[in-house]
Copies of this chain bind each other. A is one copy, B any other.
Amino acid sequence: MSIILLLDILGTISFSISGMLTALKKRLDLFGVFIIAFVTALGGGTLRDLLLDAPIGWMFDVTYVYVIIAAAIVALIFRKKLGYVRKSLFLFDTIGIALYTVVGVQKGLDAQLPAIICIALGTMSASFGGVIRDILCNEIPIIFRKEIYATACILGAGVYLLLLKTDLSVDLVMVFSGLVVIVVRVLAVRFKLSLPSLYPKEENN
């Protein structure tokens, strides 16, 4: 349990820093920077909970709110040096995505929803914070243009559902399918894999 909490907090920190960096690029003010940090970290789960008609986690447990405020303040102060921790951030971010995916799928299962909807909820939990961040910053969501991790989430979510039908314990299933998300994403970034392009080469620049 405490390991999951730690991973969750690392993921939240990394998501909120990613939001803050986008907001700074857009030259938002202090209020805007904090809102974008929150939305990036909590937006995907909030949308999932709204669709599930479930209580919205961060409204009752304010741990995440304080984590995001602290992360944003620290990152603002050291923003010139964030380049040095980029690799750690990528790692935390990937762990966060893996965790959000698995939690999202499980929430769908708890609500007894069909498999494909559970996969969608997992992927949405992990990726729609970034979608809302980009919309608030007046950009087409990056994940719709240059797929970075949606495929990893979909694969991990599918593996989760498949492994649940085996004799493995739920804990092990979580770990395995989370690792699938992480490995697929790391490989995709390392080998510059992406979805097949829909557009002719010459137009593609």
Contact = CB atoms under 8 A, between A and B. Distances in A.
B56 A143 contact: no
Interface string A1-38: 00000000000000000000001101111111101100
Contacts of A151: 31
Interface in A117-134: 117, 120, 131
Nearest to A36: B144
A46 B140 CA distance: 21
B62 A51 contact: no
Contacts of A33: 198
Measured as residues with beta carbon below 8 angstroms from the partner, the interface class of chain A is 35 or more
Given A24-B198, A140-B137, A29 B117 contact: no
B196 A140 contact: no
B28 A144 contact: yes
Interface of A: 23-24, 26-33, 35-36, 46, 50-53, 55-56, 58-60, 62, 65-66, 76, 113-114, 116-117, 120, 131, 135-141, 143-147, 150-151, 194-199
9 contacts: A23-B144, A26-B140, A29-B195, A30-B147, A53-B53, A59-B117, A62-B116, A135-B135, A138-B139
